[in-house]
Amino acid sequence: MTTQKTVIPITELEQSAFCQTEGNLRTKTLEEEFRAGVRWQKVPARYLKLSVAELDRGIAEARSALGGTTIVLGHHYQREDIIKYADFRGDSYKLSKMAAQTRDARVIVFCGVHFMAETADILAGSGQTVILPNMAAGCSMADMARTDDAEDCWADLASVLGGVAGEIIPVTYMNSTAAIKALCGRNGGLVCTSSNAAEAFKWAFARGKRILFLPDQHLGRNTGFKMGIPLDEMVLWSPFRPMGGLAPDQIRKAKVILWQGHCSVHTRFTVEQIRMAREQYPGVKVLVHPECTLDVIKAADLNGSTEFIAKTIGAAPPGSIWAIGTEINLVNRLAHEYPDRKIFCLDPIVCPCATMYRIHPAYLLWVLEGLMTGLVINRVHVSEPTRGQALLALERMLEVGG
């Protein structure tokens, strides 16, 4: 059974529903979490009232029964009550490589968001099935780059540049739909992650004069800035304005055209938070994700992908102090794993990624118990020609490495 994507955008209510002033993100029953006003996928009634302990027992039994036929992938931003079940955990790049390399399992349960499950399906073998526990787990950033808007943008750029061959290369961040990846694939572009964005830029500039970067303006700007591209040669394309709100001369002079998108988690971090962290903890090292704004990147000591953040903390000396600007579940996990280091989140108002948070243990149990009865629930399947075109862009990403 193939289930189409259920698009449920983040509302302001849901974005703030789980924010708090301490880091205890205790998992409640699904019924209790629904009371926060969230709009998640409906499940059979029996899963609503199951306690965390009951869910834990059920998932353990299901994993044991399914054995090696099923693997669970867990993104770093998942809550602890999900990540503990993951056979592999990592950032989107690492998990994409795992999906490409894993051929023994018949079913891949991806505890992440929709674009990640799409990517896993594109890279998976023909006999493998990819499942997303909650089909409402999308990505607000990915939703900011609609297919028709991106197609219009590409056509507009071609009209200004006299065609696109040799003039512009499309590069999309992993946090995008399969359709956007396909646009890049069929137009000579590629996918990148925060781990290999610089390598992707170099690859693109070897093939064209400029880059169209979707959908996160901040990762694109920060990558370009790090590579020495002047800020006035990086322009912002608004999908809500004719010709992106840009004059033809601005487009021709640009080295990077940035799509107007962002991450709702990483844009919460500010220079003032960094100032306060340094004031409270002299000698603190500030480590942030490259989806943060440029002023935050400049004020921090280090920046890098979630995988880079995890490795940096793992290699840090005991007694060191770290203020981290990324999703709270990863920060909490690192603090727990390295108690001999002082590790805290830059933002005192703790807000998990609202779409990652939609993967509740009840959903994981639901899809696993379905598999036990031979029922495939929430399959994510990318059809042709989108699949083949997106695969081109993803294979280029994997070749670039980084």
Same domain, 53 and 73: yes
Mean pLDDT confidence for 338-357: 85
Whether 401 is in a domain gets the answer: no
Range of the domain at 229: 142-264
pLDDT band for position 402 (cuts 50, 70, 90):
low
- pLDDT > 60? residue 204: yes
C-beta of residue 367 within 8 angstroms of C-beta of residue 109? yes
State how many domains the chain has: 3
Rounded CA gap, 330 and 309, in Å? Answer: 9
| Residue 380, pLDDT above cutoff 60 | yes
Q: What is the pTM of this model?
A: 0.89
Q: Cα–Cα distance between 176 and 173 in angstroms, integer?
A: 6
C-alpha 218/C-alpha 267 separation (Å) is: 9
pLDDT above 60 (res 34): yes
Q: What is the pLDDT of residue 31?
A: 92
- The answer to whether residues 154 and 173 belong to one domain is yes
Residue 185 belongs to a domain? yes
State residue 350's pLDDT score. Answer: 62
Calculate mean pLDDT across residues 365-380: 97
DSSP state of 382: P
Residue 50 sits in a domain of what CATH number?
3.40.50.10800
Claim to verify: residue 289 and residue 253 sit in the same structural domain: no
Percent of the chain scoring above 90 in pLDDT: 76
**pLDDT tens per residue across span 117-176:** 999 999 888 889 999 999 999 888 999 999 999 999 999 999 999 999 999 999 999 999
Residue 152 lies in a domain: yes
Average pLDDT, the chain: 91
Q: When comparing pLDDT for 245 and 68, which is higher?
A: 245
Q: Both tokens of residue 127? A: 């006999």
pLDDT above 50 for 32: yes
Q: Does 230 lie in the same domain as 147?
A: yes
What pLDDT score does 7 carry? 45
402 in a structural domain: no
Residue among 114, 74, 68 nearest 94 (CA): 74
For position 24, what pLDDT does the model report? 54
pLDDT at residue 12 greater than cutoff 50 = no
Are residues 149 and 241 both part of a single domain? Answer: yes
